[in-house]
Structure 1
Amino acid sequence: MLLTGAISQHFVPLETQSRIVRALAERGYNAEREAVTLLAGADDPTAALAAVVDATDDDALRITAASVRETLNSPTPDPAAVSTESPSSNTPVSTPTKNPEKSTEGAERPVETGGSSTAVDTGATEPQSSSGQASTRSPEPAEITGDITGRSTGTGEYGQFVTTFKDRYERLSKLLGGRVNHRPASAIQAMAGGSEAEMIGLVNDIRSTASGHWLIELEDTTGTFPVLVMKDREIANMVDDLLLDECIAVQGTLADDSGIMFVDSLFFPDVPRTFRPSTADRHVQAALISDVHVGSQEFMADAWNRFADWLHTEEAESVEYLLIAGDMVEGVGVYPDQDKELDIVDIFDQYEAFSEHLKAVPGDMEIVMIPGNHDAVRLAEPQPGFDEELRNIMSAHDARITGNPSTVTIEGVSILMYHGVSLDEVIAELPEDKASYDEPHKAMYQLLKKRHVAPQYGGKMRLAPETKDYLVIDDVPDVFHTGHVHKLGWGKYHNVLSVNSGCWQAQTEFQKKVNIDPDVAHAPIVDLDTLNMTVRKFA
């Protein structure tokens, strides 16, 4: 009997649940998923919804399952006092905020840009209100893969680091296996001088010889072997792209004494040039943002409110997904003298404030978020999603919370979300034309080329050893979304749309000291059916 009851509660028609959500949104409420299920499963969903709304405090923005149970279990109200308005799909829904002072009427329309992050149209026009228009949002639940949350087994022991790097080598070597007929280092050491040889290995060392050639030490599971890239070869410029600990393949000829290989060809795991991304089969959009930094004195609350108000307009009705790539709050003790720049000094109060700002987003949007280095999770990557205490604080919108990194698939489009701490390392190590803060998407290209979101270990990027390297990019994503560097940039690398989405925090005193000029209050909007992108500016 218990099993039958539990099952029957989950077989409420989806159409009924969607009508409940639209009707609540019309009245300015978000709701827990369980609350919607309870309302839809009532004997008379229309009367139940009306009774719950009538019993809910005007200042509340969220209908909880507990409040629904309390109302449904209370004595039946006078039918004359209960609205009989049906939550049908034909009911006009405007999803206004509960606070009339936040109306979008007369608000400035955000700037829309397209094509290049440097071409920003500063013209502005009045928005079209969604009042009287039926909401058509019907987002599908996101499918999430690659999430470390609940799977971490690392204790920091040396042997676990060995396991992590061995897994990295084995998985990336499979991607490179089609390029070369490689042999292990131990076998190459036993080959005759002058033989042609091919090897796949992790970059253990890179140094320049006295003659200006490049000596690279590669390591696999059997040992190490040195390879030499001559400075006058065309492939010499590829050495500029190399980082320690990444996996590459080489082809070449052994020296007469078999002690070194002269490299003729060098390969990265890379994204195949033949890659063609998947797209949605209907017109639907996703907003990609990051680095909100609630709690900072420089958090741009007014810009956030303009963004949230715009999401309620008819112009934004196709925006059904909001993907947040980390740093929801400013955090505490992240950098020197940060306490002098905090507006909210308690980390839990910061998340409470962020949750309040999230309530302004339409309740019928699917939200997915990952943590960043300012968030209250471990700094070492991969980072698990927030713990239960923080999840409960941020439960107002029923957002999906996953680890950093994770691949989020929506409408058939896979989006690799990674906060982006390793971008600092890539930008510091590679030439400016290959990676810079002014063009952060080019640094992202390097991660795609290396098929790893954080290839170099030992610098600013902290690594948590696991039985599996969760930072390897096994499958090519359709979209790559990062944040962290507070700069806006986007482009396509071998047809993968790469987007760094800027931030919602004006320049801090600390950023002035380290020469960071942030791109603030931008919202990249991706058409999932075409993977074209525009950028809305709210500052």
Structure 2
Amino acid sequence: MKQLVAQLMDRGIIVTSDLLERLADEGARVRVAEYLRKNPHASSIEPAFDQEDGSYVNPIIIIAPEMFTTDPQPFTLQGFTSYFRSRYKTLAGMLSHHPALASAVSIAKLAPGRQGAVIGMLANKRVAKTGSIILDVEDLTGSLKCMVKADAACAKKAANLTEDTVVGLVGHAGKGVLFCNDIILPDLPVTTTIKKGPRESYAIFLSDLHVGSNNFLAGEFDAFLDWMAGKEGTPEQRRIASLVRYVFIAGDLVDGVGVYPNQEDELVIKDIREQYEECARLLSRIPQDKTIVVSPGNHDYVRIAEPQPRLDERYAASLLAMPNLISVTNPAYLSFERMSGFPGFDILLYHGNSFDHYFANMDVIRMAGGYDRSDLLMRYLLRVRHLAPTYSSTQLMPLADRDPLVVRRVPDFFVTGHIHKSNVSTYRGVTMISGSCFQSTTAFQERVGHKPEPGYVPCVNLQTRQITVMRF
């Protein structure tokens, strides 16, 4: 607050008691700061305040703006150790509230010859000749072997666990081993309630535009933009377009440069700045009464290690200058549609760089359809409360003070991209949306047998939470 007030005074804007009251709201401060950044010569901040129907509306609030902004640092053994300790402590804290783990002890204090419970991080998993599953787990005090018999009630859950996941284990303790009869995941609270907004408004979800690629589907994206501008569609579809308030894009806005060998042969725009300029030209056709939120993906021109920072103004200046566009990190926690008497919706945006690893290595998902069943993977990640639990599943920046890929808050929407296939489902009150794409099948995808489904756009009525998937 002090820093923002100082900025206002430096610009000659009179800070009245009324203005201070308005700035007491976190969302108002975020919007004013964003407005000042995009309008460096503004002499008034009134345009940053949006009044509608007599209720103050905060279109977008970045819940944790201080996260994911740490500058790159040298990787050290201590950094990795602190990173995993942070993850363990956070997830163990969630698990400790489960009734079955109320009496959980550290591994070092587990007493043989009686029932016991521990909370540990899975270091390794293997199957014995007998069919039993052996889990090697660790906590801050030591390590332990947990044996799950093939006919145990929790055997299927054990078989589906991925390395580095933090779980609760309950069973009979032996000498150096726990004969496990129950496995507990951090998971989401059980609920059947789905939050609904007070007004009819819509949010749409895109990902993987890949502007600049010779496979970019310009015609299909033009059709989408014409619909957004109210130029195409049935009367009802045009009415819905007029009520769209939010456009979320979960990464890979452009195809990038140097992402893979010989990529230049598949680019129609070979300069990264020109790719973002073309992207800005296209997105500027979206009416300015709609807030556009963009997060980066593995093709965007930021570091590939997660968490990824916001788009870089040195390369995406024209895009970031758009008055109705907000650039966020990957992953990002946001709140939107807050207004008087309604707390708004929380959304977790994650491009999905880790997804390839799990589609290839989780038998239960691969056998169920692999890339066609992103809903199964997204549900699993919510259940273990982590976006990339296995260390090798994505490149990462080990931030020593916290693991930014832990799902600390329960969102209303969990939105991803990366796999170029749209999927919509619900788990415990959370709407899970996997974005489609606007890129046809690439040579690489054709070689590996991946079949994208471009041009699908999920559109959510925020008043009813009904979802319509439109095809362009």
Q: When the two structures are superposed, what TM-score results if normalisation uses the length of structure 2?
A: 0.84
> Which of the residues 261, 268, 271 maps onto 2:185?
268
1:60-459 superposed matches below 5 A? 140-147=58-65, 148-152=67-71, 154-179=73-98, 180=101, 181-188=103-110, 191=111, 193-255=112-174, 258-274=175-191, 276-313=193-230, 314-315=238-239, 316-398=241-323, 399-411=325-337, 412-430=344-362, 431=364, 432-433=366-367, 436-459=370-393
Query: Which residue is equivalent to 2:397?
Result: 464
Counterpart CA distance in 1 for 2:247 and 2:275 is 20
1:150 Cα deviation after fit: 2.8
Q: When the two structures are aligned, how many residues end up with a matched partner?
A: 425
Alpha-carbon distance change, 209 to 527 in structure 1, aligned in 2, over 3 angstroms = same
1:33 Cα deviation after fit: 6.1
Counterpart CA distance in 1 for 2:223 and 2:117 is 57
Contact preservation (8 Å) 2:133, 2:159: no
Cα deviation per residue 1:349-387 (whole Å; 9 max; x = unaligned)? 111111111111111211111100011111111111122
Amino acid aligned to 2:333? T
Q: Which moved more, 1:382-391 or 1:289-298?
A: 382-391
Query: Which residue is equivalent to 1:17?
Result: none
Cα deviation per residue 1:447-466 (whole Å; 9 max; x = unaligned)? 1111111111124x111100
Amino acid aligned to 2:378? M
Amino acid aligned to 1:170? K
Alpha-carbon distance change, 226 to 473 in structure 1, aligned in 2, over 3 angstroms = same
Partner SS, residue 465 of structure 1:
coil
Unaligned runs of 5+ in 2: 1-7, 23-35, 231-237, 338-343
Counterpart CA distance in 1 for 2:202 and 2:105 is 47
Counterpart CA distance in 2 for 1:242 and 1:286 is 34
Counterpart CA distance in 2 for 1:144 and 1:275 is 26
Contact preservation (8 Å) 1:203, 1:216: yes
Amino-acid identity (%): 33
Counterpart CA distance in 1 for 2:437 and 2:219 is 14
Alpha-carbon distance change, 6 to 39 in structure 1, aligned in 2, over 3 angstroms = closer
Unaligned runs of 5+ in 1: 15-30, 46-88, 90-134
Counterpart CA distance in 1 for 2:41 and 2:203 is 24
Amino acid aligned to 1:248? V
Contact preservation (8 Å) 2:313, 2:320: no
Query: Which residue is equivalent to 2:443?
Result: 509
Counterpart CA distance in 2 for 1:415 and 1:434 is 27
Contact preservation (8 Å) 1:300, 1:504: yes
1:7 Cα deviation after fit: 3.0
1:275 Cα deviation after fit: 5.9
Amino acid aligned to 1:471? L
> Which of the residues 393, 417, 433 maps onto 1:483?
417
Given the alignment of the two structures, is residue 6 of structure 1 paired with residue 18 of structure 2, yes or no?
no
Cα deviation per residue 1:284-338 (whole Å; 9 max; x = unaligned)? 1111100000010011111111111111224211101011100010011222332
- In our comparison, the structure showing a higher alpha carbon Rg is 1
Partner SS, residue 460 of structure 2:
strand
Partner SS, residue 175 of structure 1:
helix
1:348 Cα deviation after fit: 1.6
Alpha-carbon distance change, 150 to 306 in structure 1, aligned in 2, over 3 angstroms = same
Partner SS, residue 458 of structure 1:
helix
Counterpart CA distance in 1 for 2:44 and 2:93 is 51
Counterpart CA distance in 2 for 1:34 and 1:346 is 27
Counterpart CA distance in 2 for 1:312 and 1:345 is 29
Alpha-carbon distance change, 487 to 8 in structure 1, aligned in 2, over 3 angstroms = same
Partner SS, residue 438 of structure 1:
helix
1:504 Cα deviation after fit: 0.7
Partner SS, residue 161 of structure 1:
helix
1:149 Cα deviation after fit: 4.3
1:37 Cα deviation after fit: 5.8
Partner SS, residue 335 of structure 1:
coil
1:429 Cα deviation after fit: 1.8
Amino acid aligned to 2:151? D
Cα deviation per residue 1:119-169 (whole Å; 9 max; x = unaligned)? xxxxxxxxxxxxxxxx99x97331113453433464211211111111111
1:393 Cα deviation after fit: 2.6
Contact preservation (8 Å) 2:320, 2:326: no
Counterpart CA distance in 2 for 1:491 and 1:482 is 12
1:396 Cα deviation after fit: 4.1
Compute the RMSD of aligned alpha carbons.
2.9
Amino acid aligned to 2:327? I
Cα deviation per residue 1:156-191 (whole Å; 9 max; x = unaligned)? 112111111111111111111122021111112xx2
Counterpart CA distance in 1 for 2:417 and 2:45 is 39
Counterpart CA distance in 2 for 1:361 and 1:32 is 21
Counterpart CA distance in 1 for 2:77 and 2:90 is 21
1:36 Cα deviation after fit: 11
